[in-house]
Amino acid sequence: MVKKISIVKHKSGSKIDIQYGQKKLFKLRAEVNRLYFEDGLSKNAICRIKRLNKRFVIRWTQSTSQDFYKDRRGWPMGQRRKWTKQTEAKIASIHTALKSDPRSFYLGASAIEQQWRRRYPKDKIPPLRTIGQILKDLGLSQPHKRFRKPGASAYLCYPEYTIYNKIGKRVMEADFVGHKFLAGRTEPLQFAGFSFKSAPKFRYFKRIESKGADSLIKVCREVFAKYEKPDAVKIDNAADYIGSRSGKRNISKVMAFLLSNNIYPIFAVPRRPFSQASIEGNNSVFARKFWCRRMFESLKDVDRQLVWFNKASLDYTGYQKPQEDGVEREFVPMVYFLRQVRDSGSGKTGWIEILNESITLPAAYISYFVIGQWHLVKEILTIYIEKDKRLKRIASVPFRINEQSRKNFYKGGALSFCI
């Protein structure tokens, strides 16, 4: 079926200036007419070859002198079918107000919709798609280009469903934002970012003194106390988080802190940013809408505007702290590791590395993503692959806690960590 396209024609002398999508429609009409009258194809053949419905083909095979630029919308050219110029004026006014407000960071369709509800509670709100189109028509939007190759992670069995549905309902992603520099200051600024991928969505940033485990733990305490404590936290494999680069089977400070709060640590796939897609996307928003858009006079000014940005972000995502159900759940301390199986070199076996231990896996799993579950009570590491939202166990090996870690954090079979 041919998608209905609104047609806008601007006449200048004998020329007709038409947009790209409209050109495609007019060209298709002319092509159908040519195939029927010049090439002698039947209407059924044209429907089959061009994948069109019969009504469209019949309409544009009436005669050789048809007007392919005919406008059959049923409303005047240059006007919207439903929304008036007054609607456009309201949207433009809201956009101008948001742009001039130093505490506003979001100017897109969702931000316009939120402000419309506050300003005109009795007026019907245009759909988000309509607001976006009006912003585009008025020259008030800037398209954000996205480059993505979909499907690869699913094809290689990335355990998306397990992470967000089986380990916990609320999985927070946390990361440090890359170094930022302020004019007149040689030392870089550091920021920690937090996000939830699933609703209620959440976006929050905090300036920290240094990039390390202690800083992350400190800001985590603040976020958990002020907003919510998640079921799991997904972070990358930096030594500050995962622990020693040489010692084997260590419980790091970050692991111990999360586990002592009944939170499961999940370590993302090394060198695969897509496995931290939510927080990486939020870091991009931080750069585009905050750091690269604003001018800052001092550290105090950075912190003041960051408070504005966080408030605007929470309003934009519509974040509301989830209500606790009051049910106490048994917590068994476990740590999760996302990995991609590598070729050992011979092509006969694959392998992954977890806490400086190499685990050999069958060659059939090379290039696939797996998830490792370290059961700290049983001291066993089990490797799973996700297929059709179900986990299949492919290996299980003894994984004893490093004795120094046991001495520091895991006394008497229980975590005993605090700062």
The pLDDT score that the predictor gives to residue 16 is: 38
pLDDT, tens only, 15-32: 334 444 566 788 899 999
Residue with tokens 């003041």: 304
Bridge partners for 190 per DSSP: 208
Entry pTM: 0.70
Could you give the CA distance from residue 196 to residue 280 in angstroms, rounded to a whole number? Answer: 12
Q: β-strand 390-398 against 380-387: which pairing, if any?
A: antiparallel
The pLDDT score that the predictor gives to residue 136 is: 87
Could you give the CA distance from residue 84 to residue 317 in angstroms, rounded to a whole number? Answer: 28
The pLDDT score that the predictor gives to residue 311 is: 94
Q: What is the pLDDT along the chain (419 residues), one digit of tens a residue?
A: 333 333 333 333 333 344 445 667 888 999 999 999 998 899 999 999 888 999 999 989 999 888 887 766 555 555 676 788 889 899 999 999 998 888 888 888 889 998 998 899 888 899 888 898 889 888 888 766 555 554 556 668 889 899 999 998 899 999 888 788 888 788 889 999 999 988 889 999 999 888 888 999 999 999 999 999 999 999 988 888 898 888 899 999 999 999 999 999 999 998 776 666 667 788 888 988 899 888 898 999 999 999 999 999 999 888 988 887 767 778 899 999 999 999 988 778 999 999 999 999 999 999 999 999 999 999 999 999 999 899 999 999 999 999 888 887 766 555 665 43
pLDDT, tens only, 108-118: 888 999 899 88
Neighbours of 242 (CB within 10 A): 23
